[in-house]
Amino acid sequence: MARRPHLAATDPGGAPLRDRVASTTLHVIGIALAAVSVGMLACGLLEALTTGRDTAALAVSALVTGTAGGVLWYLTRPGEIRKRHVFSTVASTWVSITCVGALPFVLAGTFAAGGAGFVEQIVNSVFESASGYSASGSTVLSDFETPGRGLMMYRQLTHWYGGMGVVVLAVAVLPFLGVGGLELITAEAPGPSSDRLTPRVSETARRLWMVYIGFTLCAAVAFFVADGFSSVYDAVAHAFTVAATGGFSPYADSIGHFDSVAVETVVIVCMVLGGTSFTLHWRAVAERTVPYHRNSEFRSYLAMLGLAATVIVILLWLENHLSLGSSIRAAVFTVVSLGTSTGLSNATGPGSPGDYVTWVAGAQLVLLFLMVVGGCTGSTSGGIKVMRMRVLGLTMLRSVQHTQTPRAVIPIRLGRDVVSEGVVSRVAGFFLLHFLLVLCGMLAVTALEGDLESALGAVVSALGNMGPALGEAGPTSNYAVAFSQPARLVLALLMVIGRLEIFPILLAALTLADRGRAAVRRGRFSLQSLSRRLDDISGAGSDGE
């Protein structure tokens, strides 16, 4: 078999690629860690220039992460990518960056307040890292004053890395991956399929990141203007979170800290755009057209947000006895925040209009529905996605039609496009697995202590990468109050599973199980052949005698 030309090439360092170990997984992990270390280093510089409390922690973390990433990158080369490798590559990359990403929090002792033990500190750091990189926004941080600005910026940056995806980044900077790169992007990207913007996969990944960077810059400028030109730090920190539809804020009361309609309006617009497909954004920029209104998923997404906001405004006005203005402000912000899976809050304190855990049950249930659905395909948001929900709704409608005309062939259409039966099956499978994970997650979290309301909210929130949940894990509280340490680890795992849209982690586990079974079979076979040989030898020996 002819070797692919690019595998025979040499890298800038001069080492021939064929001398390296062929492992796409390790190579991608190396690049991802290197990228993360750059962020840590930048935040370390910011920390040194501002508060200076956590400079050492960030610098050491950057050094360790960068070295590990560099070594993996240098010693490995991309090998042949099989379907199985794609999922394990993406899953291992995410697990690696989640674990390594916890390093700055551990070294800075961010969670040491209140006499927390070492294990609890590690658990909290891993939870915060998982929440950050999965762009969830759930937090266990209670002391927002002690950590330095650089460390808090690193916390925001984790969202930004996770929003578009580090594997997409790896594909963008790694033209070697070429073949198989699309599968990697598809495995990481939110939604049932990823659009190819250009024939070259690496070019597609690069363009996605360009749109993402451009969007973040625009969001930062808009926030800076809306906040009265007061703080570049706040503008950049919140731009990272809205672009990634994350949910972290450097302030304990999130956007409620500013208590400004202008800031909230800018954040709402940015969150809506963050929950929209980045392919549409690219088309809008590249083709200088407005493609949004022609996209049926975007129309459904806006209709869903509008309807939910209207219902909640009415409920808050009538049942919670808030003024119409306060109802509109609280409802629209919260609906957009949870409907786009961002998770920012405009509550100024417990019991304020934006504190949605004090709203009537009907309003909270509408929010729970939004948490399940999430934003559009190809966006940075989480949840099941509007497109999948439409396919599910149409599948149900088809079943209704089949009760009248059992033999009819009824295709499922999204706009003018017919959805293939393979995609319909995949969406149904995804929904079932999502449903199953919610049940298993609830069983696990409640078994590890947690009330039903908080557990339901937290599991749905974790799988949908939402951030705040219901009950004790609401917007003015944190997960350390509501859940035990093991429950927090379960939720961290669910966040990563949700960010990768279930399949990669489960398939990686399946692959591992298959390998384990194969190893057991091999072991049995070896034992059998060994015993046969021993029998032969002993038989030969007795014959000889």
Q: Which residues bind another protein (CB under 8 A)?
A: 83-84, 87, 315, 319, 360-362, 364-366, 369, 392-393, 395-396, 398-404, 406, 421-422, 424-426, 428-433, 435-436, 439, 442-443, 446-447, 449-453, 455-456, 470, 503, 506-507, 510-511
Give min distance, CB of 427 to another protein, in A.
Answer: 9
Give min distance, CB of 431 to another protein, in A.
Answer: 7
Give min distance, CB of 401 to another protein, in A.
Answer: 6
- Other beta carbons within 10 Å of 458: 30
- Residue 128 main-chain phi, psi, to 5 deg: -65, -40
Upper half-sphere CA count for residue 20 (Cβ side, 13 Å):
24
Give min distance, CB of 454 to another protein, in A.
Answer: 9
Distance CA 545, CA 539 (A): 10
Closer Cβ to another protein, 6 or 84, answer by number? 84
Distance CA 325, CA 110 (A): 39
175 Cβ neighbours under 8 A, 6+ residues apart:
6, 202
The pairing of beta strand 417-419 with beta strand 412-414: antiparallel
Angle between helices 83-101 and 166-173 (to 10 degrees): 110
Closer Cβ to another protein, 249 or 377, answer by number? 377
Give min distance, CB of 161 to another protein, in A.
Answer: 25
Q: Helix, strand, coil % (nearest 5) of the chain?
A: 70, 0, 30
Give min distance, CB of 320 to another protein, in A.
Answer: 12
Give min distance, CB of 83 to another protein, in A.
Answer: 5
Closer Cβ to another protein, 30 or 191, answer by number? 191
Upper half-sphere CA count for residue 383 (Cβ side, 13 Å):
33
Distance CA 12, CA 287 (A): 36
Give min distance, CB of 70 to another protein, in A.
Answer: 32
64 Cβ neighbours under 8 A, 6+ residues apart:
100, 103
Distance CA 465, CA 540 (A): 66
Closer Cβ to another protein, 404 or 542, answer by number? 404
Which ranges of 227-260 would DSSP assign to H, the alpha helix? 232-243
**8 Å CB contact between 90 and 167:** yes
Closer Cβ to another protein, 292 or 431, answer by number? 431
Closer Cβ to another protein, 418 or 436, answer by number? 436
Closer Cβ to another protein, 156 or 395, answer by number? 395
**8 Å CB contact between 394 and 413:** yes
Distance CA 164, CA 82 (A): 23
- Residue 409 main-chain phi, psi, to 5 deg: -95, 110
Distance CA 484, CA 81 (A): 40
Give min distance, CB of 138 to another protein, in A.
Answer: 19
Closer Cβ to another protein, 212 or 503, answer by number? 503
Closer Cβ to another protein, 126 or 412, answer by number? 412
